[in-house]
Amino acid sequence: MKSNISASTSGADVVSGAGSGSDSNLCGVEKVESCTRRRMAANARERRRMQGLNTAFDRLRKVVPQWGQDKKLSKYETLQMALSYIMALTRILTEAERYSSDRRWIHIQYDHIQGSENIQTYLGQAAEKKDSYTDRIFPFNHESFQIVN
DNA sequence: TAGGCCATCTGGTCCT
DNA sequence: AGGACCAGATGGCCTA
């Protein structure tokens, strides 16, 4: 984490509260203190909000396949991976439903998933192997990241 | 050193 | 009025 959090926080808050002319006009000279207090409270709330958001990202990273990466996924990559993961699971469920009466399909799934601790591990390995079957089930790759407008 | 990623501050907007 | 959310700006850290 940042080493200058407290310094930059207090410094910026003081500047915004007492330093800028626009703030003085906005709040009135006699209200500078209260204006500063409100700005500091808003900054603290925003920090807590972003920390909550980051906690949510960490939880998402834990349930999404990492495919052996030692470096943690960025926020953007985490969202893309989650999207791909959900689509893969949806596809598996859809196929399971469609072929629920076909015992051969069940054996095909079993052969592919066998040896993995769970479905998440399996999908992570599937993404690394990239054979035709896993490529169809789990199409995620870094190169496929695109900005969606 | 440039570029990517991130945390924080800040002002604006919307909602209760 | 105050809180939540958002997007832009800024600066620090890390890696190729």
Q: What is the pLDDT of residues A86-109, one digit of tens each?
A: 999 999 888 888 877 666 666 766
Distance A112 CA to B6 C1' (A): 38
pLDDT(A140) > 70: no
Q: Would you say A140 and A85 are in contact if contact means Cβ atoms under 8 Å apart?
A: yes
Residues of A 40-69 whose CB lies less than 7 Å from any atom of strand C: 41-42, 45-46, 49
Average pLDDT (A55-79) is 84
Q: Which percentage of chain A shows pLDDT scores above 90?
A: 7
Amino acid at A49: R
Which candidate, A134, A136, A148, A146, places its Cα nearest to that of A67? A134
Q: Which nucleotides of B are covered by protein (CB under 7 A)?
A: 4-12
Query: What does the alpha-carbon distance between residue A88 and residue A113 come to, in Å, rounded to a whole number?
Result: 13
Distances, alpha carbon A67 to alpha carbons A29, A62, A117, in Å? 58, 12, 14
Query: What does the alpha-carbon distance between residue A122 and residue A65 come to, in Å, rounded to a whole number?
Result: 9
Average pLDDT (A59-73) is 80
pLDDT for A86 equals 92
Distance A83 CA to C1 C1' (A): 40
